[in-house]
Each structure stands twice: as structure tokens, then as C-alpha cells.
Amino acid sequence: MKLILRILLSALAVVILAKVLPGVGVDTYTTAIIVAIVLSLLNFIVKPILVILTLPVTILTLGLFLLIINAIIILLADNLITGFSVDNIWWALLFSLLLSFLQSILFSLLKED
């Protein structure tokens, strides 16, 4: 049950950010739920592989390259989902930062139970 709530809150965050950011677009609420599911799957499967492959660059940049990896994950989700669009890597980077910030706020509401 908590997993479904987390996905719905992530979808809500995706919709809010799509309304606020002009470089990000989501067609429907169903697409936002699909984006939330795909992003969670990509973060679970692809992100650890990218982190291991880019470990030297991540160490050299003191961890800042992880932001670029998050933006690449967002762009990968953009290529996989037809109703979700991100214009370029800068919008993906800003979307990634704001999404993690908004998710931390929304997920903190779940922990109060």
C-alpha cells in the first residue's frame, strides 16, 4: 500500500513540475503515473550500473556527476514514454533536482503515520 502511495505522490510531483517548468511536458495523469513507475525502475536498475561505470568521474567531481546521471535517467525516460517530454539536458537537470526536492517533502508526509 505504501508503494502505491509513493508512486502516486511521485506522479503528483511530476504533474506539478510539468505545469511549472516550460521545458517539461506530461500529456495526461496516466502518463505521469507511468513516468513515476518508469523513473523508479530506471533508478533501481540502470542508475547503479551508470554509477559504477562512471565512478572515476564521480570521484573527480566530488559526487557532482551524479546530478548528470540523474538527468540522463530523466532523458532516458523521455525516450521511453511517448507522452512525457523534456527539451534538453538542462531542463532534465532542473527537473531532477526539483523532483527529488518535491518527493522528499511529499514522502515526509507519509512517514508521519
**Residue 113 pLDDT class (50, 70, 90 cuts):** low
Rounded to the nearest integer, the mean pLDDT of the chain is: 94
pLDDT at 57 over 90: yes
Dihedral sign, Cα of residue 73, residue 75, residue 81, residue 87: positive
The values of phi and psi at residue 87, to 5°, are: -65, -50
Distances, alpha carbon 97 to alpha carbons 62, 70, 104, in Å: 17, 9, 11
User: In this predicted structure, what is the pLDDT of residue 109?
Assistant: 84
C-alpha 13/C-alpha 101 separation (Å) is: 10
Choose between 110 and 80: higher pLDDT. 80
Choose between 3 and 113: higher pLDDT. 3
* pLDDT above 90 coverage of the chain, percent: 90
Alpha-helical segments (H) within 1-113: 2-20, 29-53, 55-60, 65-80, 89-111
Its pTM stands at: 0.90
